[in-house]
Amino acid sequence: MDDDILILADPNGNAWDFAKEVYNKLNFSSTKCGKCSLGKINIGKFNDGEIFVKILTTVRNKVCFFIHDSSMNPQDWAISLVEVNDALMRSSAKKINNILPYIKYSRQDRMTEPRTSITASVLAEMIGSIADRVVATDLHNPASTGAYKIPFDNLKAYPVIVDYLRRRYPDFLNNLVVVAPDVGSAERAKSYAKRLMGGVAIINKSRDSSGAIREMTVIGDVQGKNILIVDDMVDTAGTLCKAAEILKEKGALRIWTCATHGLFSKDAIEKLSRSCFEKVIITDSIPQKNFEKIEVVSLADLFSEVIYRISHGQSVSELFR
C-alpha cells in the first residue's frame, strides 16, 4: 500500500516545505517506515489572471494527498483547489484526499441576514463533487462538516499546542487560567484547561445595534494569574488586544494567547506587537514564520500521522481521545 501513496503540493507555493516535511516524516520515521512518494503540481496563471493547473507527476492508481497552500488569497485558493481535484480525477488517481490545514470561506457557515450566501455549503459541494476525503484543522464551526457528503476529518490543534507549552514553558503554566474570548469558545477553553491543569474564565461581549462590541465582562477570577486566551483564529486582532487590556486591568499577570490559524489581516501583527501580550502562539496551518512575539508550532507531525492512519485503514479519532 505504501508504494501507492503520493503526497502532492505546488513546489512554487508556500505549502511545499510543509509537504516535504510531512513526506519525510512518513518515509523516514522509525515507527512508520513508509515508501510514499512526493509529487509536484504546477498552479499558474494566464496573463489575464485565469488559473491553470497541471499535475507534473504520474498519479494513475495512486492514493493522492494534495496539500493546499492556505496562504493564497481566498479566490485563487478555491478555484485552484477545484482545478487540482479535476486534474487528479482526469489523470486516473485512485483516491483524492484534500489536505486543507485552513479552509477558507468556512466562516460564512449560515445566513446571518436575508439574501446572503452560505459559502461553507457552496465550497462543500465543489469539493465533494470530485474529492474522496477532506482533512482540515479546527473549522470555525465544526457543524460545517455536515455540509460534506464525503468523509471529513476536522483535526484538533490543541494537543500539539499543549505539548509545545508543556515542553517549552512549564513555568508559565503554574497559576494558569485559560480564557475563552467569547461564550462560543468556552468548550475549547475547557479542553485546554483540562490538559494544562488550569482554571477557566470567559469574556462575555455585549454588542450594540450595529454589531459593534459595546462592553466586555470577565467571568471568572484572573487576578494574580497567568492568562492564556485560546481561539481558533487571529484575524485583525483588535478585539483580542482589547480583551488583553481588560484582563490586565483585572489584575492578570502574564498574558499570552494561542490560536490555530494566524490570518493576521489589517495590521494585526502591528497591533499585537504594541499589545500587552507577551507571546502569541499559532500553528503553521497558514504558512508563516516566527516574528517578534509570534511563535509558530508545526502541525507536520499531526498531519503525517493522520495521512498514515487514513492510508492504512486506522482510526483518526483515537488521536484525540
C-alpha 86/C-alpha 13 separation (Å) is 19
DSSP string, 185-208: GHHHHHHHHHHHT-EEEEEEEEE-
Q: What backbone torsions phi and psi does residue 90 show, to the nearest 5 degrees?
A: -70, -15
Secondary structure, 3-state, 66-119: EECCCCCCHHHHHHHHHHHHHHHHHCCECEEEEEECCCCCCCCCCCCCCCCCCH
C-alpha 291/C-alpha 277 separation (Å) is 14
Q: What is the DSSP letter of 61?
A: T
Helices (H), 152-292: 158-168, 186-196, 238-249, 268-274
Question: Active site residue: 205, 242, 250, 293, which one?
Answer: 205
C-alpha 306/C-alpha 22 separation (Å) is 10
Max Cα-Cα span within the chain: 61
R_g of the chain, CA atoms, integer Å: 21
Q: Is 187 exposed, middle or buried (0-12, 13-18, 19+ CB in 10 A)?
A: exposed
Pairing relation of β-strands 176-180 and 95-100?
unpaired
Residue 205 bears catalytic tag: yes
Pairing relation of β-strands 213-219 and 199-207?
antiparallel
C-alpha 136/C-alpha 74 separation (Å) is 16
C-alpha 14/C-alpha 90 separation (Å) is 25
Three cell numbers written together for 57: 507527476
| Residues identified as active-site | 205
